[in-house]
Structure 1
Amino acid sequence: MKLSLGPLQYFWPRQQTLDFYRDVAAWPLDIVYLGETVCSKRRELRLQDWLMLADELAEAGKQVVLSTLALIEAESELGALRRQVQQGRYLIEANDLSAVQLCRENGVAFVAGPSLNIYNHRALAMLMQDGLMRWTAGVEQGRQLIGELRDAMRAQGEPMPELEVIGWGRLPLSFSARCFTARALDLPKDQCGFRCIEHPDGLPLATREDRSFLRINGIQIQGEEITDLGPELPELRALGVDVLRIYPQAQDGRAIVEHFDLARRCVEPPPRRGARNGYWHGGPGMRVEAP
């Protein structure tokens, strides 16, 4: 089983981001996703900066994939997306159907990101004709749905693409045209002051009963709990999962990657360090078991 580092969901200062990925080059990872997936206003790094990091990581033996925005709202964003697709050196993670269309037009193979919402084998087979070569299951798609989709593909005589599942990190639940961080700070979206850079792991949101509930991350809402599918590794292998995705976090990133690297080489599953993913087991996504 391969290990991937998902795209950075948060907004970190330029130097912190550069230093982070230069450290990542030495981590036991097979695949690294680079790029902004949440907000086009986050411009600490430009496309050329991401390509520079991509070259360094590729030289270190990583497969590099350039991730696209999950929500395209303006012509300028579409232009930036077109430049990503046409850079011609690295795979694309398509997180929006605009990216799928541009990849198809340019004959570029792509990874289907978790926000594409693929729920049946017909949609998956159609996208494979367009160039899909790896599918990252959506956050709410558990073992039963994935198993049923795989069986339906086999029954139709269709090959399965590489299958990637989110194994560690806060789950990206939804995106909106509104900026939740700006709203929480009583700021207009167009004058947000890039305040999300002050929250390297998102802004915690609690209920009125002071119960931890969600994380606010610009226009994205995440689950509060950090999902951990480490103990489910035997089940993931049996299901045919090829890649386990780990999302970056501000602290202990290398330790988490090394933990999963050891786990994938052992027969016994590792102890759970994060929270049990209710979605995976067919229940509510919120934490149902203490870390």
Structure 2
Amino acid sequence: MLKLSLGPVLTYWARETLFEFYQVIAESAVDIVYIGETVCSRRHEMRLDDWLDVADLLAANGKEVVLSSQALIESNSELGALRKLVANGRFGVEANDVGAVHCLDGAPYVAGPHLNIYNPPALATYARTGARRWVMPLELGRAQLLGMRAGMAAGMETEVFAFGRMPLAFSARCFTARKLNLPKDDCRFSCMEHPDGLLLNTREGQPFLVLNGIQTQSASVHNLVAELADMRGIGVDVARISPQSSGTADIIAAFDLARRGAIDTAEARRRIAPHLVGAECNGYWFGEPGIALHRTVAEAA
């Protein structure tokens, strides 16, 4: 059966909120849970020991737990934190930066979506360094995935980002702090006030992007719940759901029912619709602009 994963929380939540959230997730239908701070090292609500406590809770409930590394390493202190994460000795690691791959030194790991793996030779290179699963870059689609699978190493698992606001880019500048005319080093942790990110509209008032500290996300919500059967058919192993501040458990439940064929795709989308924090999109999967809402493979057949 196609597995479901829950990606790391990308926005900044309070420590108590995170512990309460993962207590709910521990009872959910997801098979794999990625945890850790992937965006900004200034987010200090959770230390490594706290994340390991969360990992123990999840593992005790039968989840595969993976510690996700930060995607943009800029300082010696961040490098030191990365080395501690890699050396945890208990849980697997998702490498979101080439530096993490080097620190892993051949140990098995998950190649995260920010490693820019866009062709079979690149994927083969990461496989030789220990990658056992790769998360397809968000802007690749079904056709490109089929091309990648043609030369994939035996045993390599494929994971597809299937739900959530898409993490698109990172910058050394903190956009949330800049919006408030604050310097990055004195940001007052202002992104915590926006648990699903800070919406950025065009001059015409149309939702465009979401600011999440140094990360830029899509304003629209990528939703491939209608493509789960097709994913399974073409060899996808894991579908990833990205957490949001509300409704995540219900979204997971809808995906679980859909993957098991207990409800059809129309019902799955109906159950998810009240929890969308932005307009729905799925364009990248179909080779279209990501913001597009395209017909499903089943509808197009």
Does the CA contact (< 8 Å) of 1:170 and 1:223 recur in 2?
A: yes
Whole-Å Cα distance in 2 between the matches of residues 90 and 163 of structure 1?
A: 19
Identical-residue share of aligned pairs (%)? 52
Whole-Å Cα distance in 2 between the matches of residues 269 and 15 of structure 1?
A: 36
Does the CA contact (< 8 Å) of 1:179 and 1:189 recur in 2?
A: yes
What is the CA distance between 1:263 and its match in structure 2?
0.4
Q: Which residue of 2 aligns with 1:234?
A: 229
What is the CA distance between 1:237 and its match in structure 2?
1.2
What is the CA distance between 1:108 and its match in structure 2?
2.1
What is the CA distance between 1:260 and its match in structure 2?
0.3
Whole-Å Cα distance in 1 between the matches of residues 174 and 15 of structure 2?
A: 21
Whole-Å Cα distance in 2 between the matches of residues 126 and 93 of structure 1?
A: 16
Q: Is structure 2 residue 116 aligned with structure 1 residue 117? A: yes
**Residue 123 of structure 1: SS of its match in structure 2?**
helix
**Residue 173 of structure 1: SS of its match in structure 2?**
strand
Q: Which residue of 2 aligns with 1:278?
A: 283
What is the CA distance between 1:234 and its match in structure 2?
2.1
Q: Which residue of 1 aligns with 2:141?
A: 142
Aligned ranges 1:194-213 → 2 under 5 Å: 194-213=189-208
Q: Which residue of 2 aligns with 1:59?
A: 60
Q: Is structure 2 residue 162 aligned with structure 1 residue 167? A: yes
TM-score by length of 1: 0.95
Change (3 A) 1:163 1:282: same
In the comparison of the two structures, how many residue pairs are matched? 284
What is the CA distance between 1:268 and its match in structure 2?
6.5
Which digits, 9 at most, give the CA deviation of each residue in 1:214-273, with x for residues without a partner? 110000000011111011112211221100000010111110000000000007741234
List, as ranges, runs of 4+ consecutive aligned residues in structure 1 with deviation greater than 4 Å: none
Q: Which residue of 1 aligns with 2:298?
A: none
**Aligned letter for 2:53?**
M
Q: Which residue of 2 aligns with 1:263?
A: 258
Does the CA contact (< 8 Å) of 1:232 and 1:269 recur in 2?
A: no
What is the CA distance between 1:13 and its match in structure 2?
0.8
Change (3 A) 1:32 1:218: same
- Superposition RMSD on alpha carbons, in Å? 1.4
**Residue 226 of structure 1: SS of its match in structure 2?**
strand
Does the CA contact (< 8 Å) of 1:173 and 1:223 recur in 2?
A: yes
Whole-Å Cα distance in 1 between the matches of residues 286 and 240 of structure 2?
A: 18
Aligned ranges 1:180-191 → 2 under 5 Å: 180-191=175-186
**Residue 231 of structure 1: SS of its match in structure 2?**
helix
Whole-Å Cα distance in 2 between the matches of residues 269 and 48 of structure 1?
A: 41
Q: Which residue of 2 aligns with 1:249?
A: 244
Point out where structure 1 has 5 or more consecutive residues left out of the alignment.
none
Whole-Å Cα distance in 1 between the matches of residues 291 and 169 of structure 2?
A: 14
Whole-Å Cα distance in 2 between the matches of residues 136 and 269 of structure 1?
A: 26
Which digits, 9 at most, give the CA deviation of each residue in 1:178-223, with x for residues without a partner? 0010111111111100000000000000001001111100000000
Q: Which residue of 2 aligns with 1:68?
A: 69
**Aligned letter for 1:86?**
A
Whole-Å Cα distance in 1 between the matches of residues 158 and 218 of structure 2?
A: 23
**Residue 285 of structure 2: SS of its match in structure 1?**
coil
**Residue 116 of structure 1: SS of its match in structure 2?**
coil
Q: Which residue of 2 aligns with 1:91?
A: 92
TM-score by length of 2: 0.92
Does the CA contact (< 8 Å) of 1:225 and 1:287 recur in 2?
A: no
**Aligned letter for 1:191?**
D
Point out where structure 2 has 5 or more consecutive residues left out of the alignment.
296-301
Whole-Å Cα distance in 2 between the matches of residues 44 and 122 of structure 1?
A: 39
**Residue 283 of structure 2: SS of its match in structure 1?**
coil
Whole-Å Cα distance in 1 between the matches of residues 88 and 30 of structure 2?
A: 24
